[in-house]
Structure 1
Amino acid sequence: MIHPALRKKQRLILFALLALIVATSVIGIGMGVSSLSYDRLIPTLLGQGSFKETFILYSVRMPRLIITLLAGMAFALSGAILQSITRNDLADPGIIGINSGAGVAVTVFFLFFPIDAGSFVYALPLVAFAGAFITACLIYFFSYDRFAGLQPVKLVLTGVGFSMAFSGAMIVFISSAERAQVDFIAKWLAGSIWGTDWPFIWALLPWLAVLIPFTLSKAHRLNLLELGEPVAIGIGVAVEKERVALLLTAVALAASAVSVTGGIAFIGLMAPHMAKALVGPRHQLFIPVALLMGGWLLLLADTVGRQLVDPDGIPAGIVVALIGAPYFLYLLLKKQ
């Protein structure tokens, strides 16, 4: 039973985050190389804008905003799941190598399996999922002890090792690529939001539409798993079955987001921690908050990054890393 005061607090925080998302979106729409004046925003939304205003809003700004918001939500939920099933506060799909595994798969697919643009968009999440899934299986295998179960610290260290190995593999692939391909991969690695057209939204949206409700339905199971294996088994939870299903969910969420945003880390680390600090550790309370927090953080990072350097700005992944890396060190020192 969740106390009504906590439910009320959660609703207020969700409302505040929605307000922040709307405010950041409005600011982002009105800024950039092709700006849209704020007094013309409502008329353009209502179909009364000029061709230029309509094009800027619906073909340039809106798809990017939606993709950034959805990807941030996916990263945040993936991080929340990983932290719960591993009982490790430092778990994040970017830090433990899942994003890198997806990145290698996308890079190989991009370089060696060229297909038409229409199919490429929808194939990317599947390719990224395959790479992330293989990586997650390897990390799980090397982190699991037959007698002691999953080792949380070992999982992070193994993931960091795989991340470094995949970064080296990416350099090898890049060294044999053409200049245009190298430019794309370099931007992808930096976390530049590159999938900014409506087809990328339709490619990403089904994954979230299925996986977010599924995770919310597993909130009680996540609460039990976070108490530890002995407690969960004693209550009657099929620990390995639940853990594998949730791990696949986390991998799919991270891979689908990586396929359109590139290598962005730390969102999955920061958003769940901030949500828990606001509403507590119960998954029924903090997962909805983490979803909106992750979406807003990535949206804010992309909006700020686009304004810092002309003409293309700083990739959102770099802006997030400038904030997330010190936060990661803080959590690491706190665990000592």
Structure 2
Amino acid sequence: MRRRMASVLGLLALLIAATAAVALGTGEAPLSYGRIIPTLFGHGSTQEEFILFSLRLPRIVITLLAGMALAFSGAILQGITRNDLADPGVLGINSGAGAGVALFFLFFSIDAGTFVYAIPLVAFVSGLLTAAVIYTISYNRTAGLQPVPFVLTGVGVSIALSGLMIVLISSTDRTKVDFIAKWLAGNIWGDDWPFIWAMLPWLAVGSLIALYRAKRLNILHLGDPVSIGLGVRVRRERLVLMATAVAVASAAVSVTGGISFIGLMAPHIAKMIVGPRHERAIPAAMLIGGWLLLTADTIGRNVLAEPLPAGVVVSLIGAPYFIYLLLKR
């Protein structure tokens, strides 16, 4: 099984590398594929280095990290809720983080250097508050956390927060409206190196926490009675894992906007390939999520005359998949 897992991760890494190579050579600014490797090793012209290191590479890296983060969050949420429809976008966590970012952007003046590192923290706080509200409303003291009420509550909260975003848009100036509108569409706006350094620690720490607790997450997936019988502190483990999922998803949302369905599709595909055990499914889901978002962004930037936000491309694929899962369940 370890050999198979290594083969799967290796194939996914090669798939990501191939897609990244396509993304490096495509776009509005011309850069031939024959010049990519020389430019990477410092033998390109000033224009080629600017295109590669200032435009293409940071966007590719941030897109990969964001896709990995959303897939990671979806895998954790599906595990602790025992619901295959759980996703940070569907549950309203993305909307909560986005509402916090919008409020922060509209009403607080802060310099650009601090803004880059403050925005993931703001998104985390607002996303965590949203998750706490959803958890409190859907939790039943007798039956525990039930999958269906949790998802339905998340959908309701997401709709309410979307209404709040519309109210915010209607009451501010045009420049800020454009930013929020692009954010809502899932436009990857934080495509510069500082945003990578701002988001990377959240993903790295969250991944270590989840992999350390992967066996407990496997037990939680069996249900509360079994978990309690095996000595797992259900409420504490669920809260720690939920906070971790919210933190990582919020960090991604803060730089990519409202992108849904990556956290829904990637864990499903990973479980079909490597099985349901989370110590295997989480790494595979992260690579699949990174590849899905990178592919969506590459398609959105190059297929049509006008660039299409990655969130829109993902939704065109993810919405039918969500309906399929809903009908199946």
Shared fold (TM-score greater than 0.5)? yes
Q: Deviations over 1:189-217 (max 9, x none)?
A: 00000000111001001111211111111
Equivalent-residue separation in structure 2 for 1:76 and 1:53 (angstroms): 33
**1:242-321 equivalence runs, <5 A:** 242-311=237-306, 313-321=307-315
- TM-score, reference length from structure 2: 0.99
Tell me which amino acid in the other structure corresponds to 1:135.
T
Question: 2:318 maps to which residue?
Answer: 324
In the aligned structure 2, how far is the partner of 1:146 from the partner of 1:48? 64
Report the TM-score when normalising by structure 1: 0.97
Code of the residue aligned with 1:241 in structure 2: it is R
After the TM superposition, which parts of structure 1 deviate over 3 Å for at least 4 consecutive aligned residues? Answer: none
Spell out the pairing of 1:208-223 with structure 2 (5 A cutoff): 208-223=203-218
Task: Report the AA paired with residue 321 of structure 1.
Answer: S
Equivalent residue in structure 1 for 2:12, among 11, 17, 21: 17
Paired with 1:233 and 1:35, the residues of 2 have a C-alpha distance of 59
Q: Deviations over 1:79-122 (max 9, x none)?
A: 00000000000000000100000000000000000211111111
The answer to whether the aligner puts 1:133 opposite 2:128 as a matched pair is: yes
What SS is found at the alignment partner of 1:125? helix
Trace 1:86-165 onto structure 2 (pairs within 5 A). Answer: 86-165=81-160
Partner of 1:3: none
Partner SS, residue 90 of structure 2: coil
Q: How does 1:65-104 map to 2 (within 5 A)?
A: 65-104=60-99
Note the alpha carbon deviations across 1:37-76, whole angstroms, 9 max, x for none: 0000110000000000000000000000000000000000
User: Quick check: 1:96–1:159 contact (8 Å CA) kept in 2?
Assistant: yes
Structure 1 residue 10, shift from structure 2 partner? 1.4
- Following superposition, the deviation at residue 293 of structure 1 comes to 0.4
Whether 2:17 is the aligned partner of 1:7: answer no
Q: What stretches of structure 1 of length at least 5 have no aligned partner?
A: 1-5
- Supply the distance in 2 between the matched residues of 1:34 and 1:213 (Cα, whole angstroms): 38
Percent of aligned pairs with the same residue? 65
Cα displacement string for residues 292-328 of structure 1 (whole angstroms, at most 9, x for unaligned residues): 00100000000011012334x1000000000000000
Size of the aligned set, in residue pairs, is 329
SS at match of 1:191: coil
Q: Report deviation, 1:7.
A: 1.8
1:41 aligns with 2:57: no
Give the letter for the 2:46 counterpart. F
